[in-house]
Amino acid sequence: MPSKVTYSMDVERRLFRPAIIRWYRKNQRDLFWRGGNDAYAIWVSEIILQQTRVDQGTPYIARFLKTFPTVESLASASEERVLKIWEGLGYYSRARNMHRAANAVVQDLGGRLPNSVDDWQTLSGVGRYTAGAICSIAFDHRVPVLDGNIKRVLARVLDLSESIDDGKVTDSLWEVMAHLVDGKAPGDFNQGMMELGSEVCTPRKPSCANCPVQKHCMAFANGTQLERPIRKKKRKVPHKEIVVAAIFKNGKYLLGKRPSDGLLGGLWEFPGGKIEGGESHPEALVRECEEELGIIVEPGDLVARVNHAYSHFKVTLNVYRCRHLKGRTKAKVHTELKWVPPNRFEQYPFPKANHKFLDLL
- Do 55 and 177 belong to one domain? yes
Domain boundary among 227, 249, 272: 227
Mean pLDDT of all residues belonging to the chain: 93
137 lies in some domain: yes
Domain boundary among 227, 250, 277: 227
- Do 216 and 258 belong to one domain? no
Buried b (16+ CB within 10 A) or exposed e, 94-107: bbbbbbbbbbebbe
How many CB atoms are located within 10 Å of the residue 92 CB?
22
- Do 187 and 334 belong to one domain? no
Q: What is the DSSP letter of 123?
A: S
- Do 204 and 315 belong to one domain? no
185 lies in some domain: yes
**Confidence (pTM):** 0.87
d(CA 103, CA 111): 9
Q: How confident is the model at residue 33 (pLDDT cuts 50, 70, 90)?
A: confident
- Report which of 138, 119, 125 is spatially closest to residue 33, judged by C-alpha positions: 138
- Do 85 and 137 belong to one domain? yes
pLDDT digits (tens, 9 = 90+) for 58-113: 999 999 999 999 999 999 999 999 999 999 898 899 999 999 999 999 999 999 99
- Do 250 and 214 belong to one domain? no
DSSP per residue, 264-313: TTT-EE--EEEPPTT--HHHHHHHHHHHHHS-EEEEEEEEEEEEEE-SS-
Q: What is the CATH number of the domain that holds 266?
A: 3.90.79.10
How many CB atoms are located within 10 Å of the residue 216 CB?
19
324 lies in some domain: yes
Q: Yes or no: say if 147 and 173 are a contact pair by the CB < 8 Å rule.
A: no
- Specify the pLDDT at position 269: 95
Residue 146 forms beta bridges with which residues?
none
Q: How confident is the model at residue 3 (pLDDT cuts 50, 70, 90)?
A: very low
- Do 195 and 64 belong to one domain? yes
33 lies in some domain: yes
1, pLDDT greater than 90:
no
pLDDT digits (tens, 9 = 90+) for 139-150: 999 999 999 999
- Do 109 and 215 belong to one domain? yes
d(CA 234, CA 225): 21
12, pLDDT greater than 90:
no
- Do 212 and 250 belong to one domain? no
Q: Is the bond preceding 212 in cis, omega lying within 30 degrees of 0?
A: no
- Do 213 and 283 belong to one domain? no
- Report which of 187, 118, 147 is spatially closest to residue 47, judged by C-alpha positions: 147
Q: How confident is the model at residue 10 (pLDDT cuts 50, 70, 90)?
A: low
Q: How confident is the model at residue 164 (pLDDT cuts 50, 70, 90)?
A: very high
233 lies in some domain: no
333 lies in some domain: yes
Q: Please identify every residue annotated as catalytic.
A: 46
pLDDT digits (tens, 9 = 90+) for 167-224: 999 999 999 999 999 999 999 999 999 999 999 999 999 999 999 999 999 999 999 9
Q: What is the DSSP letter of 356?
A: T
Strand, coil or helix: 199: helix
- Specify the pLDDT at position 312: 84
Domain extent for 318: 239-360
DSSP per residue, 49-108: TTTS-HHHHHHHHHHHHHH--SHHHHHHS-HHHHHHHHTTS--THHHHHHHHHHHHHHHH
Domain boundary among 167, 196, 227: 227
Residue 55 — φ and ψ, nearest 5°?
-65, -35
Strand, coil or helix: 243: strand
70 lies in some domain: yes
d(CA 198, CA 185): 20
Q: What percent of the chain has pLDDT over 90?
A: 85
How many CB atoms are located within 10 Å of the residue 337 CB?
19
Q: What is the CATH number of the domain that holds 153?
A: 1.10.340.30
- Do 39 and 160 belong to one domain? yes
How far separated are the first and last CA of the chain, in Å rounded?
58
**Can you say how many angstroms the Cα of residue 202 is from the centroid of all Cα atoms in its chain?**
20
With 0-12 / 13-18 / 19 or more C-beta atoms within 10 angstroms meaning exposed / middle / buried, residue 11 is exposed
Number of domains forming the structure of the chain: 2
- Do 67 and 156 belong to one domain? yes
- Specify the pLDDT at position 6: 47
335 lies in some domain: yes
